[in-house]
């Protein structure tokens, strides 16, 4: 279910792909936590980093007014910084992306809109630093593509069709 898809360059500074295991933790309006691998982020009116559906990412990443997307750098470890005025020696910290993994990710409950909920079968979330202790690393300017292998799916369809014909 959670095989890694092909990572594709997008050029958007707020697009982040997870290479390896892990999920981004997001907060729903009622305070419930959900998890996603969809790293297509944007900012809301308050400058908070949110998903495409407007759910706030845990970790409190806030983009202050005057900082444009081209000034933002998201490290492979999830650190979010901004470089203003070309001053690369003193980047301004904007927050940290939180990445979690589960003992059994197949046990997560699909909630729709690329969101998953923790269940007893998935086990409790384990928070970690991207790139450390088996946690996937992050790649800015990229999104994870579909993990569906078309050839394998076609073979499965043909096999099912032949079995039905028999």
pLDDT tens, residue by residue, 76-95: 998 899 887 666 667 888 98
Question: What pLDDT is attached to residue 85?
Answer: 67
For the segment 39-45, the average pLDDT, to the nearest whole number, is 91
Beta strand extents in the chain (DSSP E only): 7-9, 16-19, 23-27, 33-36, 42-43, 49-50, 56-57, 72-74, 79-82, 92-96, 99-101, 109-112, 115-117, 126-128, 137-140, 142-144
Confidence tier at 118 by pLDDT (50, 70, 90): very high
Structure letter (DSSP) for residue 132 = S
Does 5 score more than 60 pLDDT?
yes
Question: What pLDDT is attached to residue 147?
Answer: 55
How many CA atoms does the CB half-sphere of 153 hold within 13 Å?
Answer: 5
Instruction: Give the pLDDT confidence of 53-70 residue by residue, as tens digits.
Output: 999 998 878 888 888 888
Identify the CA nearest to 126 among candidates 23, 17, 3. Answer: 23
Question: What pLDDT is attached to residue 23?
Answer: 93
- Please tell me the pTM assigned to this model: 0.80
Does 101 score more than 60 pLDDT?
yes
The CA angle 16-21-22, to the nearest 5 degrees, is 60
For the segment 11-24, the average pLDDT, to the nearest whole number, is 89
Identify the CA nearest to 139 among candidates 2, 12, 3, 1. Answer: 12
Question: What pLDDT is attached to residue 115?
Answer: 93
Question: What pLDDT is attached to residue 107?
Answer: 92
Does 142 score more than 90 pLDDT?
no
Q: How is residue 22 written in tokens? A: 């892990």
């Amino acid at each position: 279910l959670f095989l890694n898809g092909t990572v594709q360059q997008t050029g958007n500074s707020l697009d982040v792909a997870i290479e390896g295991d892990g999920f981004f933790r997001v907060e729903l309006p009622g305070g419930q936590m959900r998890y996603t691998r969809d790293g297509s982020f944007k900012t809301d009116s308050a400058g908070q980093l949110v998903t495409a559906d407007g759910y706030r990412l845990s970790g409190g990443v806030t983009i202050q007014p005057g900082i444009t997307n081209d000034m933002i750098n998201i490290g492979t470890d999830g650190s979010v910084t901004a470089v203003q005025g070309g001053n690369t020696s003193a980047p301004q910290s904007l927050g940290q992306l939180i990445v979690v993994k589960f003992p059994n990710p197949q046990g997560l409950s699909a909630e729709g809109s690329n969101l998953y909920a923790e269940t007893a079968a998935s086990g409790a979330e384990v928070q970690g630093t991207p790139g450390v202790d088996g946690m996937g690393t992050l790649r800015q300017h990229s999104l994870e593509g579909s993990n569906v292998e078309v050839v394998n799916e076609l073979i499965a369809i043909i096999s099912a069709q032949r079995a039905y014909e028999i």
